[in-house]
Amino acid sequence: MIRHLHALLPQPRLTMRLGALTALQAILQGLLLGTLAPILTALLRDRPDFAAARPWLLAAGAGLVLYGVLTVVATPIGFTAASEVSEQLRDRVLRHAMALPSGWFTARNKARLARALTADAGNIGQLAVSTGGPALTAVLTPATIVLVTATVDWRVAVLLAATMPVAFLALKRAGRISSEVETELENAATDIAGRAIEVGQAQPVLRAAGVGRSGTPLMRRALAAHREVYRRGLRRAVLPDLLYTAVVLAGFLAALALSTGLFLTGRIDPPEAIALLVLTVRFLEPLSNLIELIGALHAMDNAIARVQGILSAAPLPAPARPVRLGPAHDITFTDVTFTYPGARTPALTEVSFTCPAGSTTALIGPSGSGKTTVTRLLARFFDVTGGEVRIGDADIRDCDPGRLLERITMIFQDVYLFDDTIEANLRLAHPDATARELAEAAAAARLDEVIGQLPDGWNSRVGEGGSRLSGGERQRVSIARAFLKKSPIVVIDEAASALDPENERAVSDAVRRIAEDPDRTVIVIAHRPATLEAADRVIALDRGRVVQNDTPGRLRHVDGLYARLHGRYRAAGAWRITGDRPPRAGAEGEPWG
Ligand SMILES: Nc1ncnc2c1ncn2[C@@H]1O[C@H](COP(=O)(O)OP(=O)(O)OP(=O)(O)O)[C@@H](O)[C@H]1O
């Protein structure tokens, strides 16, 4: 357990110091009791021998002072150590999570991560101090008492010593069962947390379907399973706990009986009998505490294992010597094949194309054809299964992941905003931006119109996930980030979902401006005819393969996905002339069908 915790902490020095202090205190407790027998022997006589008692009294006094000093030193370290352990763990888990591929973040793994960062990291810190210390004392003090008892009477010492391994065997069994129960309870709790996240995400759907007033069926099942695991755990733990207590009590009673027998048969004197009585009682006390501590210790060990489980999830491999990304920002996919973790069929198969630096490439294709996957692979959310993705001369797997993301801005449909002010959300893209740069970016994305209408302007909070803004407004924040970041590669997933005409125009304008910038290489998952027409190239995907790759002008005259989409827009009269929304790619009756 100590080893596990030690391995988990980047800086274990403070906890090691606390452990050493606690161990010293525990041994000192036992040694102090060792002064009892000679003091009693010297003083409990017809004529007390103070001269013989003095050195032992002095030693006991010095020991007590040392114990006091150790307590004074250890107490503040204990307080600091608990919060420091939790902080170190949180920091380590967070750093690791940042390097994990986005495919890792399933609902269950998100719940595991949330628990590791909140409950587990906090509990490990608390338990390491509040349980680890007493547990160390509960083992070291009785062990020292056994040695000290040997100086009074070896037979009682042997009996006490024999009690310890039997007690530890019983304790091991009780601990194993309590650990199993704790793991089952934790799994059941993680299930509930996962279901809760699911309910949160699917809430609009659940409401629309009129289900879920008392939770979804899966949630109710998870709650019932947790209750059952708890009850079963209580039943399983009773017997092993009783067995351990019985073993310790039996050792204690046997030692008492032996001491009494030795006294009654005149083999030990009254002072020795009193000393043995005190030693036996002090032996029993910490040992019997162990059964209460063992559950908490295993809970800590399980929490450590859970944190370890997250830390062992493989991050995307980082190159030992990252290649520097050069000034060229052309993008090349060569024979890229990719299968999502756990999926059977590839999402992309032998996809090859080049986006010249400064150009705009529109990706089109039916729903599920692999457009989003292309953008995810470019940002290295996942690594390709086969082939390679290059920016300039560099294979993106050879680049530092942080540096890679500095060059790319993603403008997604589902923009996640942090529950902070508009300004703070924008500054994520460029923390040191001046007020002027912020204002220019906001104007370019037409976010200034939104900010002007908010009660607190730039200081307005956007709510969790940006819930206080509409979809189009959120996307304008995301576009403003792109203007602010000035990254040479921009990936845009045009909003396919319904935007009101005002937002739609604002978003289209901003996207057009980004695309027209000759310093930016843009890949856009296009849903609007104007975007398609303005693109330098159009790449059509179907079932994960490139089926067309040419200029929009030429593709219009070739039978295929693009011409069908183009014809469909014309037939629907949805080109910008009318200002109506074009039919959504992937929507019912659209040209992919
Ligand atoms: N996280 C994932 N895990 C497993 N399979 C996935 C995952 N994301 C996408 N897929 C699958 O990969 C394929 C390509 O999906 P992708 O999202 O790239 O398509 P798309 O063209 O962007 O679709 P849409 O237009 O609906 O957004 C689909 O079959 C999809 O089911």
- For the Cβ of 370 lying below 6 angstroms from any atom of ligand 1, the answer is yes
Statement to judge: residues 342 and 481 lie in one domain: yes
Task: Tell me which residue of 334, 241, 343 sits closest to 292, measured CA to CA.
Answer: 241
Q: What distance in angstroms lies between residue 371's CA and the mean position of ligand 1's atoms?
A: 8
Confirm whether 318 is domain-assigned.
no
CA 106 to ligand 1 centroid distance, Å:
15
Residues 540-550: what's their mean pLDDT? 93
Report yes or no on 338 lying in a domain: yes
Kindly state whether residues 564 and 521 are assigned to the same domain.
Answer: yes
Q: Which DSSP state fits 467?
A: T
If asked whether residues 436 and 341 sit together in one domain, one would say: yes
Give tens-digit pLDDT for 352-405: 999 999 999 999 998 889 999 999 999 888 899 999 999 998 899 998 887 888
The pLDDT confidence band at residue 586, using thresholds 50, 70 and 90, is: very low
Assess whether 6 and 120 both reside in one domain: yes
Evaluate whether residue 429 is within a structural domain: yes
Give the distance (Å) from ligand 1 centre to CA of residue 367.
Answer: 8
Domain end marker among 311, 343, 359: 311
Q: Would you state the pLDDT for residue 211?
A: 62
pLDDT of residue 593: 38
- Reported as a single tens digit per residue, the pLDDT across 390-400 is 999 889 999 88
Q: Is the ipTM of this complex over 0.90?
A: yes
Confidence bin at 573 (pLDDT 50/70/90): low
C-beta of 101 in contact with ligand 1 (< 6 A):
no
- What local confidence, expressed as pLDDT, does residue 498 receive? 56
Last residue of a domain, one of 254, 281, 311: 311
Amino acid at 196: A
- Rounded to the nearest angstrom, the distance between the alpha carbon of 374 and the centre of ligand 1 is 10
Max avg pLDDT among 9-13, 159-163, 201-205, 211-215: 159-163
**Ligand 1 pocket member 386 (CB < 6 A):** no
Check if 346 has its Cβ closer than 6 Å to any atom of ligand 1. Answer: no
Q: 203 and 96 in one domain? A: yes
Q: Is the CB of 497 under 6 A from ligand 1?
A: no
Q: Return the CATH number at 198.
A: 1.20.1560.10
**Closest approach atom of ligand 1 to CA 365:** 21
CB 373 near ligand 1, within 6 Å: yes
Q: Taking a C-beta distance cutoff of 8 angstroms, is the pair 103, 373 a contact?
A: no
Q: Give domain status of residue 588, yes or no.
A: no
Please check whether residue 209 lies inside any domain of the structure: yes
Query: Is the CB of 233 within 6 Å of ligand 1?
Result: no
Range of the domain at 342: 331-572
pLDDT in tens, 108-138: 788 888 888 888 888 898 888 888 889 999 9
Q: How far is the CA of 513 from the centre of ligand 1 (A)?
A: 28
Place of tokens 């976010």: 447
Given the CA of residue 342, which atom of ligand 1 is nearest to it? 4
Distance 346 CA to ligand 1 centre (A): 10
User: Are 105 and 172 in a shared domain?
Assistant: yes
519 and 375, same structural domain?
A: yes
Please tell me whether residues 161 and 20 are part of one structural domain. Answer: yes
Mean pLDDT, residues 325-333: 87
CA quadruple 385, 391, 393, 397: dihedral sign = negative
Average pLDDT in the chain: 85
Number of structural domains (the chain) is 2
Ligand 1 centre and the CA of 373: distance in Å?
A: 6
Give the confidence band of 578 by pLDDT, cuts at 50, 70, 90: very low
- Residues 106, 78, single domain; the answer is yes
- The DSSP secondary structure of 285-301, one letter per residue, reads HHHHHHHHHHHHHHHHH
CA–centroid distance, 532 to ligand 1, in Å, is 21
Q: Say yes or no: CB of residue 365 within 6 Å of ligand 1.
A: yes
For CA atoms 178, 181, 186, 189, the dihedral sign is: negative
For residue 592, is it within any domain? Answer: no
Tell whether ligand 1 has an atom less than 6 A from the beta carbon of residue 340.
yes
Answer yes or no: is 286 within a domain.
yes
The answer, yes or no, to whether any atom of ligand 1 lies below 6 A from the CB of 371, is: yes
Distances, alpha carbon 408 to alpha carbons 357, 382, 392, 523, in Å: 13, 15, 13, 11
Q: Which of 399, 362, 358, 353 is nearest to 380 (CA)?
A: 399
- For residue 385, being part of any structural domain is answered with yes
Clarify whether residues 337 and 380 are in a common domain: yes
Q: How far is the CA of 380 from the centre of ligand 1 (A)?
A: 16
Pocket probe mutation, ligand 1, options 371, 541, 543, max atoms within 8 Å of Cβ: 371
392 ligand 1 Cβ < 6 A: no
Binding site membership of 372 for ligand 1 (Cβ less than 6 Å): yes
Are 177 and 274 members of one domain? yes
337 and 304 in a single domain? The answer is no
369 lines ligand 1 (CB under 6 A): yes
**382: nearest Cα among 317, 466, 287, 297:** 317
Residue type, 229: V
Q: What is the CATH number of the domain that holds 459?
A: 3.40.50.300
Protein residue with its CA nearest to atom 5 in ligand 1: 340
